[in-house]
Structures are given as C-alpha cells and as structure tokens.
Amino acid sequence: MRNIKMTVQYDGSRYLGWQRLGDSDKTIQGKIEMVLSAMTGENIEVIGSGRTDAGVHAIKQVANFRTQSRMPLEAMLDYCYRYLPEDILIPDMQEVDERFHSRYNAKAKKYLYRIWNDKFHNPFYRKYTCHIPDCLDIDLMRAAARYLVGEHDYTSFTSLKSKKKSKVKKVYSIDIEMKDKMIDILFYGNGFLYNMVRIMTGTLIEVGLGKISPDSVESILRGKDRSLAGYTAPSNGLFLYDVEY
C-alpha cells in the first residue's frame, strides 16, 4: 500500500468547505475523492491537514491518501489536472512513509486574511477579500494583535461549544501589513480552533474601527466567553496559507 502526500490549492467560493458531506459534489474532499477513486478503481479516502469552512480558500492545503495503484506520480498529477474542476488544483504529489498522516503530523499552520479597505469594493477581489468601507487604523490593530500572540485559552475566539476539548493553543505571530487599499493579516500558530482566525479577525476589525480598544483584547481573552469578542469575519477573505511538518 502506497501513501501519497499531496499539495492542494483551491478557490472555495462555490463549495461547502473541505469536509465531505452527504452531497460530496459540493465539497473539496468529495471532489478529489471521486477523481482519485475513478483513477485507481479503489474507494479512496483523502485525509486533509484540517477542515476549511464553506467559502474559505487554500493556497496550500496538505492531504494524503493510500492506494494499491502502481501508477507513476506524474501520471496521477496529469489525471487529476485533467479531471478536477478548474478551481481545484493538485500541483505536487510525493510518496511518503506509511505512517505519515497529514492532520496528526502537522506541527504548525499559517492563515492569511485579506481585507479590501476602501469606500468602494473591488469587483476583481470581491470573492477573495472582506470589504470594509470605513478606514481601519492599522496601528490600533497591531497593538491589539500583540495580546493574541502567545499560549492562551482561546475560548472567547471560537464557536466550538464542546467543553471536553482543550481551547489552549499557541499563536506564534500575527503580522498585519497594508499596501494601497489591501490589508493582509497573517496568523501563524501550532493550531487553530473552529472559526478562531475569523473571530480574531473580526475583533481586530472592530478595534481598527474604534469600536473596541486594543487593551480590552486582553480582558476578552481572560473572560473565556465568546460573546465578549468581535464578530466572525466573512469566510471569503480567508486562505489556508501554509502547513508545516
């Protein structure tokens, strides 16, 4: 049995997210599994490094699957390129150790959130940015982001309601850059909870709009209450940027 690791890139605009659902034709995982199963003649299960929500994109998702097929990797890549829809691309495949697991072996992830900060939306970026018409104060957002860096209980920044699962994560850095009207927020951490990046982004946006003071982010963290944090930013501005092993 071969274990194949692959890089996956996708525009999540028309999908219900990564995870295969009843209607697998509308999920990234479902689309890839159908193509790989047809290619190998086997019932292929694809394991992703993590789930992305409906509308979220990926510059670098990592996944793996197991197969008995002896087809060369180059032929697999060509097959996937031919039969996957144009908004899903597998640019790289590698044969890896049978113990490799794309989710369990991931050591860190980066997420990119993009904001178009102008009175008018940009028709060419509308699927890939969150449009904020009012001017955002980048310095205030950077000051607030410092409180979110480190090892914390991020209960206030997740929609996950389970009390059994630990909400402690380590965020290594949050970098905020602005070029012209585009604001890029890059989150780097050892893992992220459900909706964590989008809620942190929504909170930073509210700080940038003057609705929340930067200092109050510290008390929001300590409060461990989702209602204290800002809104959940839209999914279309979010990209899974990188996965480290």
Question: Which residues carry out catalysis?
Answer: 53
Q: How far apart are CA 89 and CA 60, in angstroms?
A: 10
Is the distance from CB of 158 to CB of 230 less than 8 angstroms? no
Give burial (CB, 10 Å; 0-12/13-18/19+) of 77. Answer: middle
- Sign of the dihedral defined by the CA atoms of residues 206, 208, 209, 210, in that order: positive
Residues 6+ apart with CB under 8 A from 148: 157, 171, 174, 200, 217, 221
Q: What is the DSSP string of 22-52?
A: SSGGGSHHHHHHHHHHHHHTS----EESS--
Residues 38, 93 contacting (CB under 8 angstroms): no
* Number of residues assigned to the chain: 245
Give the whole-angstrom CA distance, residue 9 versus residue 122: 23
